[in-house]
Structure 1
Amino acid sequence: MYQIGNIYFITALAVIGGGLFGFDISSMSAIIGTNQYKCYFNQGEIPCQGPNPGPQGGITAAMPGGSWLGSLISGILTDRLGRKKAVQVACTLWVIGSIIVCASQNIGMLVAGRLINGLCVGIASAQVPVYISELAPPTKRGRLVGAQQWAITWGILIMFYISYGTSFIDGVAAFRIPWGLQMIPAIILFFGLFFVPESPRWLARKGRWEEVKAIIVLVHGKGDPSAPVVEYEMNEIKEMVEFEKANSDVTYLDLFKPNMIHRTHIGLFMQIWSQLTGMNVMMYYINYIFLMAGKDDVSANLLASSIQYVINVVMTIPALLYVDRWGRRPTLLIGAALMMTWLFANAGIMATYGHWAGPEGVKGQKAASWFVEGAAGKGLIACTYLFVASYAPTWGPVSWIYPPELYPMRVRGKAVAFSTSGNWAFNTALGAFVPASFENIKWQTYVVFGVFCVAMWIHVFFFFPETAGKTLEEVSEIFEDPNGIKYIGTPAWRTHGSYRKARDIETTGFASSMVPRALSKSDGFSSERGEKVSASHFEVPSKVV
């Protein structure tokens, strides 16, 4: 079958999997404030009050709950079927879940459909970054994997405006139409994946070297088998595969062995912290936040919310363009500091200028328990926008870029699946926790997330190494202890990106300061240094030359 080798096209298609997550976020956040939704799923004594905070938290948390399970099983699925087929399985689950959600007759049916949708999102969110990272050249890997986050923001924006448009329709069609339309991207992704290549690193694990060579020539060599980068990539992959032949049986327990636990902890907390920023709380429950800020008209509330989604899309672009030059560490540290500032500012505004809205909350929404009027309300909205503008170019894309870069190929599928499961576990907990939190501890909710931002800044500074510009195989050297005694490796604050070296490799086949290298001790290899040589000094299997 004809295959397209343009890495940007491959990425644009693959990240539709991220767009599905965005569709889910805004199809819920834009709809939960409409009368049609609240009347149909009403639980209170007051007509059209909507679900109570507990059940609404359960509805919201159903999708990330399913995603947690989906991300865990994705590691096994992708190792057996390949990256592409795993994502196609996810697309099938999304269509099934969307049909159930669209046809929901009650809260139980809605929760069931969202759980199945979550299985899809969990698989796609874990394996799409792996798929892209294993195809992308080092100098472009950050922006390409980061496109997953951009797709999420576009999914949020597109579905939000679809949901806003259908909110003017009377009856259940107001929410059934957007819940049905969200099937279309999954169908496009399912069939589009037939026309793009499989991950060459996964194929190499299966011994399919001729296909590996063909894909690298197609994607990296632009059709030229003699391109220097082709031979370099082949040798990098071969070096790792030779080691994996002696370590073929990989389980989740391998992630907790001494040579891998440091990486496992970093990848897991990368995803956990991305949730504890509070960003998805802003997305899911923005309706409640703007109600508390005085936007109690449904139409005005939705339009104010849409500005946040536009900011999210636009502010992700700088990261896609420059994250490989900025590096991962500075981006994360600056993002955490800025988000902390706006969260504490929101807490201060609400504590100083706000007041309790009564037991029924604003407009009967118990979760909107605090009310801020006038200029203070505008300040609350402004800080919310600034928070989104700080998250979008920092923790948003880097949370997807970073985990696939940390692990050797033999455990990458399961390791990224495990780290992504942390994302969804905390997404589930926060989805259920936040409505009750706003109802019970009110403005102090912002303080909780502000403290999390302080903690994540400290954690990143001391433990998260720089991976920008390095090949996936070279990253292992970061975790190698110079004395071969421990598996901590280079202190995180002493690591630096190698954008120039990666650029040299792509253009000449070897770096300006390149020396022959073996895999790190933490992967079972000894590291040897020698004189400057090109990639051609390495041996390649005869059947792939």
Structure 2
Amino acid sequence: MPETLIKPVNSANAYTNLIDPNRKWYNNRRLIALNGWIFLLLITSSASGYDGSMMNGLQSLPQWETYFNFPTKGKLGLLSSIQNIGALAGYPFAPYLCDGIGRRPTVFIGALMMVIATAIQTASQSVGMFIGARFLIGFGLTFAASAAPMLVAELSYPQYRAPLTSAYNSLWHSGSIVAAWATFGSFKINNTWAWRLPSVLQAVPSLVQVLLVFLVPESPRYLVKKGKEEQALRILAYYHADGDENDPLVRYEFEEIKAAMEFDRTVAANVGWKSLISTPGNLKRVRIIIAIAFFSQWSGNGLASYYLNKVLSDIGITNPTTQLLLNGILSIWSLLCALTASTTVERFGRRVLFLSSACLMTLFFTMQTVCFARFTISGDTNAANGVIAFIFLYSAAYNLAFSPLIVTYALEILPYNIRAKGFNVFNITISIALIFNQYVNPIALAALNWKYYVVYCVWLVCECVFLYFYLVETKNHTLEETAAIFDGATEKIADSAATNLGGAKNASGEEKGSSEFLEKA
């Protein structure tokens, strides 16, 4: 029986009835400010997307190829994968910074490293210097990309948490768009600035974060964990209830955070790395986040994301201008699909989107393989056009779930005490998968041509089977409720939060019982 049949208890969803229906992001000054700060954090993903697409575009620039002596196969794979090798080197330190000094300082450190590294990359005089700079970019990105999405999830107004967190990974494509069109625009520069200019632009998102990130409020959950409960309550009240610390939603959020952390401390014992495998609930979490991390990179998407020029060359499209143009259009298409899907995550749920995405990817990638094989065997130009069409359809299918949902889902199923460490495992898995893909794909494509696509066709079927049997539905729950589903603790945490609400006071100084706070729930 699929594990998706696990159901949360009835106390879940209580918060949804405490939300003021008249408080919307567009008509409330403090929610507008909060979402502005969240957008500053979301552009971390743009910086990551810029890097991947920039490397794709640089491979189509004769100026870059000439300067670095026409890298191919293993050398080309290293140039693409070294950023993720740098990211892998940073992961052992990231959770300790996130939990130790806070989310905001960790984002600042990562962004500052990236600004310095992109300056070195722009000034590169040799392939070794270029590779070293890209290693440092990956190292810095690790810290920013570990802390920023957690801070987004932990700060967001409950009604908008899932769409905003889903927008995080979707905005990877926004950076990809800028990079694709930057390389397209710099193509006509007849010197090394054809590739140095896109490198300069890579620093812009990180520079903005360096200047502004300390204006972003810190995570209330981090503050509660550090014993700064009054400060955490003030932040929740200021942004979620116009400063009213006795607002029912704020009190519910605050008491639920405290109850969940108390449960982790006294019952679940979620401390240290060993905790990731110490309970059946945590084992389920780790199994799922590792799987979706691999699936997000091993679904055939790495071919078009990092080696589109090679794929296009193999179907007879060798003109650099055409390649850069298709790269730019594909990036825009991917962003539109991903952001559209981000708005539907609470409507359709995680399970429906993931399964639909995996099944459609399997269909479209298989058709892409058939067209590629037909062109290779017979030289049919219609088959080449079919490859391009199915690349776009496949992109839409991939962005239905794997762009918007992988970060959202990984963060929401992890309780606070292991969120940084669990998310670190998620990011490490993605980097390992990317390193393999970026290094192996150009070698395998050169050796096997269209036959290499068959490997991904088989793997995609395996993904569909796994998602059907193991993915747990989590829509319309707070972070604490969602994380507790895996431990069967939603009722305990909600009851504890409701009990603690019994002594809360309203704005007039009168005590409100927990039943009054939760009467609608």
Match in the other structure for 1:288? 310
CA distance in 2 between partners of 1:81 and 1:331 (Å): 36
Match in the other structure for 1:427? 434
Match in the other structure for 2:382? 375
Give 2:450's match in structure 1, choosing from 420, 439, 443.
443
Counting aligned pairs with the same residue, the percent is 26
Structure 2 SS opposite 1:268: helix
More helix per residue: 2
CA distance in 2 between partners of 1:475 and 1:150 (Å): 22
Match in the other structure for 2:361? 339
The answer to whether structure 1 residue 518 and structure 2 residue 492 are counterparts is yes
Shift of residue 250, structure 1, vs aligned partner: 2.7
Q: Give 1:424's aligned amino acid.
A: S
RMSD: 2.4
**Aligned residues of 1:11 and 1:147 also touching (Cα < 8 A):** no
Higher mean alpha-carbon deviation, 317-326 vs 156-165, is at 317-326
Unaligned runs of 5+ in 2: 1-29, 506-510, 512-521
**Aligned residues of 2:414 and 2:483 also touching (Cα < 8 A):** yes
Give 1:297's match in structure 2, choosing from 319, 335, 338.
319
The answer to whether structure 1 residue 236 and structure 2 residue 256 are counterparts is yes
**Aligned residues of 2:109 and 2:144 also touching (Cα < 8 A):** no
Shift of residue 11, structure 1, vs aligned partner: 2.0
CA distance in 2 between partners of 1:534 and 1:80 (Å): 30
Shift of residue 148, structure 1, vs aligned partner: 1.1
CA distance in 1 between partners of 2:270 and 2:465 (Å): 36
Give 1:16's match in structure 2, choosing from 43, 52, 60.
43
Structure 2 SS opposite 1:518: helix
Give 2:144's match in structure 1, choosing from 104, 111, 124.
124
Shift of residue 52, structure 1, vs aligned partner: 2.0
CA distance in 1 between partners of 2:393 and 2:242 (Å): 41
Higher mean alpha-carbon deviation, 379-388 vs 100-109, is at 100-109
Match in the other structure for 2:187? 167
Match in the other structure for 2:336? 314
Match in the other structure for 2:104? 84
Higher mean alpha-carbon deviation, 371-380 vs 55-64, is at 371-380
1:491-532, Cα deviation, whole Å (9 max, x unpaired): xxxxxxxxxxxxxxxxxxxxxxxxx9324xxxxxxx979xxx
**Aligned residues of 2:339 and 2:404 also touching (Cα < 8 A):** no
Residues 383-462 of structure 1 correspond to what in structure 2 (within 5 A)? 383-462=390-469
Alpha-carbon distance change, 33 to 390 in structure 1, aligned in 2, over 3 angstroms? same
Higher mean alpha-carbon deviation, 343-352 vs 110-119, is at 343-352
Shift of residue 374, structure 1, vs aligned partner: 1.3
CA distance in 2 between partners of 1:196 and 1:54 (Å): 42
Match in the other structure for 1:502? none
Give 1:112's match in structure 2, choosing from 132, 136, 151.
132
**Aligned residues of 2:415 and 2:484 also touching (Cα < 8 A):** no
**Aligned residues of 1:141 and 1:324 also touching (Cα < 8 A):** no
Alpha-carbon distance change, 32 to 146 in structure 1, aligned in 2, over 3 angstroms? same
**Aligned residues of 2:77 and 2:438 also touching (Cα < 8 A):** yes
Match in the other structure for 1:469? 476
1:69-98, Cα deviation, whole Å (9 max, x unpaired): 333421111011111111111101101211
Given the two structures, how large is their TM-score scaled by the length of structure 1? Answer: 0.83
Higher mean alpha-carbon deviation, 106-115 vs 199-208, is at 106-115
Match in the other structure for 2:272? 251
Match in the other structure for 1:51? 71
Match in the other structure for 2:348? 326
**Aligned residues of 2:45 and 2:172 also touching (Cα < 8 A):** yes
1:459-484, Cα deviation, whole Å (9 max, x unpaired): 111111011111111124422369xx
Match in the other structure for 1:148? 168
**Relative contact order, higher structure (CA 8 A, sep 6+):** 2
Shift of residue 253, structure 1, vs aligned partner: 2.0
Match in the other structure for 2:17? none
The answer to whether structure 1 residue 33 and structure 2 residue 60 are counterparts is yes
CA distance in 1 between partners of 2:446 and 2:405 (Å): 32
Q: Give 1:257's aligned amino acid.
A: S
Shift of residue 170, structure 1, vs aligned partner: 0.8
CA distance in 2 between partners of 1:540 and 1:65 (Å): 50
1:436-489, Cα deviation, whole Å (9 max, x unpaired): 01011111222222222211111111111011111111124422369xxxxxxx
Match in the other structure for 2:374? 352
Shift of residue 391, structure 1, vs aligned partner: 1.2
**Aligned residues of 1:234 and 1:540 also touching (Cα < 8 A):** no
**Aligned residues of 1:4 and 1:197 also touching (Cα < 8 A):** no
CA distance in 2 between partners of 1:109 and 1:324 (Å): 46
Q: Give 2:337's aligned amino acid.
A: M
Q: Give 1:217's aligned amino acid.
A: A
Structure 1 SS opposite 2:91: helix
Structure 1 SS opposite 2:478: coil
CA distance in 2 between partners of 1:198 and 1:104 (Å): 37
1:274-303, Cα deviation, whole Å (9 max, x unpaired): 111122331111111111222211111111
Give 2:118's match in structure 1, choosing from 89, 98, 104.
98
CA distance in 2 between partners of 1:285 and 1:101 (Å): 21
Shift of residue 244, structure 1, vs aligned partner: 4.8
Shift of residue 321, structure 1, vs aligned partner: 1.4
**Aligned residues of 1:70 and 1:123 also touching (Cα < 8 A):** yes
Q: Give 1:253's aligned amino acid.
A: K
Unaligned runs of 5+ in 1: 43-49, 356-370, 483-515, 520-526
Structure 1 SS opposite 2:93: helix
CA distance in 2 between partners of 1:107 and 1:157 (Å): 25
**Aligned residues of 2:170 and 2:404 also touching (Cα < 8 A):** yes
Q: Give 1:407's aligned amino acid.
A: L
**Aligned residues of 1:221 and 1:227 also touching (Cα < 8 A):** yes
Shift of residue 248, structure 1, vs aligned partner: 8.1
Match in the other structure for 2:208? 188
Shift of residue 5, structure 1, vs aligned partner: 7.0
